[in-house]
């Protein structure tokens, strides 16, 4: 056993090529992650295996090579670009005589540095504690000692390990209560937007695809944006100005990445729900990235994991300034609906076309004409219909009610009427059915 060092940034990186992985792109992303965490990379040790070794992940021969590199360069930690089990981390630390960090721990460390808001810090702390709770038995010799001695403390006592576990369990329970309250506030805000019929557009995408820069270009905001992994973590919501849509909001969410730790996804549930509850997702894709299609699949996997895979999506090919042969504009699907928009958030090229595409995707196809009687008491419903630009004609009858000719999609019209306590017009086809049955 050894006493783990409490600090240190001098790192040896270990990256194995496993079946089905792209070695070059994964290796480069791994190095960028290490730099983002503040590590000084001394060397990168590569290799390949058909499957991970149960005890050391890399196998005994490769582990000895890593140990020699750590000793020669006096590295303070070894970072593996793979998820390691607690026993693998423990075995590697015994052999390498330095701290060992897996991919999940590395990403958690970056999130801990980036979190700025109170909510973000709570989410990261929860993820870290959940990650740590399975990894307490390590090289810390004090964890085996019993708490005892002194008046009132003699007897079998409680081991330090048990104390640490209990303290972590208590803190996790407290954090979950706080985050559940945060989740409740977010849900109430979403309900308020739904009552006001405010459509929500949410940005999603692989980290460093340019989401925050696009957010700033669409909202004229000055939120922090930088060309680095996980530049921003905290969800930001701003008003979004669109043609033909009176009001809408845009939400910028945390970036995704391959093998995003499950603890992190669970902790950021309240934040990620902004994507799941959105009316439209803007999937931002770095068009200059040669691995962009693999990134798209990885983002889609995370969206499926959080239940957002059924939300309508508009792809945004960003950074076309890095590809001179790609022109800004809208690409449409077989039904003529906007499917993809090419833009440059940095030079604000194609942003107007993107606004038009968003507005078109938020406008339902099934607009139909209906006659509706709105009593004087339901003035809010009348105002909402005018806000939706759905009123085509209006006449005031003898009872002071408004006879309206409206044009909009039926499900939304029925929902507005029911919320206002007004009888909605018959659904399309209902009148014909009644006449067919002889009902006048």
- pLDDT digit string, tens, across residues 358-380: 998 887 655 678 999 999 999 88
With respect to CATH, is domain 10-101 assigned 3.40.50.11060?
yes
* Residue 193 DSSP SS3: helix
pLDDT higher for 213 or 141? 213
Query: Of 251, 255, 257, which Cα lies nearest the Cα of 215?
Result: 251
3-state DSSP assignment of residue 214: helix
Q: The whole model's pTM is what? A: 0.67
Q: Find out whether 123 and 267 touch, Cβ atoms under 8 Å.
A: yes
pLDDT of 76 strictly over 80? yes
The pLDDT score that the predictor gives to residue 282 is: 95
Average pLDDT over residues 230-235: 62
Question: Average pLDDT in the 325-342 region?
Answer: 88
Which of the residue ranges 16-25, 78-87, 90-99, 242-251 would you say has the lowest mean pLDDT? 16-25
Rounded average pLDDT over 218-233: 63
Q: Which residue has the higher pLDDT, 341 or 228?
A: 341
What does the domain layout of the chain look like in residue ranges?
10-101, 197-362, 367-436
Distance between CA 276 and CA 406 in Å, rounded? 31
236: Cβ–Cβ under 8 A, 6 or more apart, which residues? 215, 221, 223, 251, 252
Q: Give me the pLDDT at residue 320, please.
A: 95
- Tokens 């909009």 belong to 408
Mean pLDDT, the chain, whole residue set: 80
If we measure between CA atoms, which residue out of 268, 278, 287 comes closest to residue 312?
278
Q: Which stretch, 221-230, 258-267, 390-399, has highest mean pLDDT? A: 390-399
Buried/exposed code over 33-70 (b: 16+ C-beta within 10 A; e: otherwise): bbebbebebbebbeeeeeebbebbbbeeebbeebbebb
Residue closest to 413 by CA, chosen among 380, 381, 365: 381
CB 180 within 8 A of CB 188: no
Q: Is 150 left (phi over 0), alpha (psi -120 to 50) or beta?
A: left
**Separation between Cα atoms, residue 322 and residue 331, nearest integer Å:** 19
**Cα 123 from Cα 131, distance rounded (Å):** 12
* 367-436 shares the fold of 10-101: no
Q: Tell whether domain 197-362 is in CATH 3.40.50.300.
A: yes
CB 285 within 8 A of CB 317: yes
Measured torsion, CA atoms of residues 230, 233, 235, 236, in degrees rounded to the nearest 10: -70
Query: What architecture (CATH level 2) is domain 367-436?
Result: 2-Layer Sandwich (3.30)
**pLDDT tens-digit series, residues 411-427:** 778 888 988 899 998 87
- Say how far apart CA 119 and CA 129 lie, in whole Å: 16
Higher pLDDT, 333 or 148: 333
Q: Is the pLDDT confidence value at 225 over 90?
A: no
Tokens matching residue 197? 């019929």
- DSSP letter string, 345-407: TTTTBSHHHHHHHHHHHHS-S-EEEEEEEE-GGGHHHHHHHHHTT-EEEEEE-TTS-EEEEEE
Distance in angstroms (rounded) separating the CA atoms of residues 201 and 312: 10
Q: Cα(102)–Cα(90) distance, rounded to whole angstroms?
A: 11
Highest mean pLDDT pick, 134-143, 245-254, 265-274, 416-425: 416-425
Q: Are 371 and 363 in contact (CB under 8 A)?
A: no
Q: What is the pLDDT of residues 304-318, one digit of tens each?
A: 887 788 788 999 999
Nearest to 207 by CA among 223, 236, 227, 229: 229
**Residue 151 to residues 33, 41, 57, 155, 162, Cα–Cα distance (Å):** 50, 50, 47, 10, 21
Cβ 313 vs Cβ 326: under 8 Å: no
The pLDDT of residue 62 is above 90: yes
**pLDDT of amino acid 310:** 79
- pLDDT at position 149: 46
What is the share, in percent, of the chain residues with pLDDT greater than 90?
Answer: 26
Place of tokens 């059924």: 310
| Gap between the Cα atoms of 299 and 306, Å rounded | 11
Q: Using CA of residue 379, residue 383, residue 384, residue 390, what is the dihedral sign? A: positive
């Amino acid at each position: 056993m050894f006493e783990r060092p409490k600090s240190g940034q001098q790192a040896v990186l270990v990256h194995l090529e496993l079946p089905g992985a792209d070695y070059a792109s994964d290796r480069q992303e791994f190095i960028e992650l290490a730099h983002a965490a503040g590590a000084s990379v001394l060397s990168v040790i590569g290799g390949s295996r058909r499957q991970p070794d149960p005890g050391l992940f890399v196998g005994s021969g490769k582990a000895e090579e890593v140990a020699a590199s750590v000793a020669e360069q006096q590295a303070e930690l070894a970072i593996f670009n793979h998820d390691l089990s607690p026993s693998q981390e423990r075995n590697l630390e015994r052999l390498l005589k330095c701290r060992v960090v897996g991919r999940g721990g590395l990403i958690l460390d970056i999130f801990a540095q980036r979190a700025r808001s109170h909510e973000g810090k709570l989410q990261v702390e929860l993820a870290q504690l959940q990650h740590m709770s399975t990894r307490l038995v390590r090289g810390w010799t004090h964890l085996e000692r019993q708490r005892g001695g002194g008046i009132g403390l003699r007897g079998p006592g409680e081991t330090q390990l048990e104390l640490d576990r209990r303290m972590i369990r208590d803190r996790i329970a407290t954090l979950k209560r706080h985050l559940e309250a945060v989740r409740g506030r977010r849900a109430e805000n979403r309900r308020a937007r739904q009552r006001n019929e405010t459509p929500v557009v949410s940005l999603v995408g692989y980290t460093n695809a340019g989401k925050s820069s696009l957010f700033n270009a669409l909202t004229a905001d000055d939120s922090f944006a930088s060309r680095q992994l996980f530049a921003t973590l905290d969800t930001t919501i701003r008003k979004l100005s669109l043609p033909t849509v009176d009001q809408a909001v845009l939400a910028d969410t945390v970036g995704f990445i391959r093998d995003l730790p499950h603890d992190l996804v669970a902790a950021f549930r309240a934040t990620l729900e902004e994507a799941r509850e959105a009316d439209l997702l803007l999937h931002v894709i770095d068009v200059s990235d040669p691995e962009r299609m693999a990134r798209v699949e990885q983002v889609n996997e995370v969206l499926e994991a959080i239940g957002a895979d059924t939300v309508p999506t508009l792809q945004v090919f960003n950074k076309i300034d890095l590809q001179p042969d790609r022109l800004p504009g809208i690409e449409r699907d077989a039904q003529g609906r906007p499917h993809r928009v090419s833009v440059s958030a940095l030079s604000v090229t194609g942003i107007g076309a993107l606004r038009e595409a968003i507005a078109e995707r938020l406008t339902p196809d099934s607009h139909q004409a209906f006659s509706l009687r709105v009593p004087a008491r339901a003035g809010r419903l009348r105002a909402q219909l005018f806000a939706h630009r759905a009123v085509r004609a209006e006449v005031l009858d003898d009872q002071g009610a408004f006879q309206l000719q409206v044009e909009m999609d039926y499900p939304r019209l029925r929902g507005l009427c029911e919320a206002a306590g007004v009888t909605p017009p018959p659904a399309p086809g209902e009148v014909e059915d009644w006449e067919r049955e002889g009902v006048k």
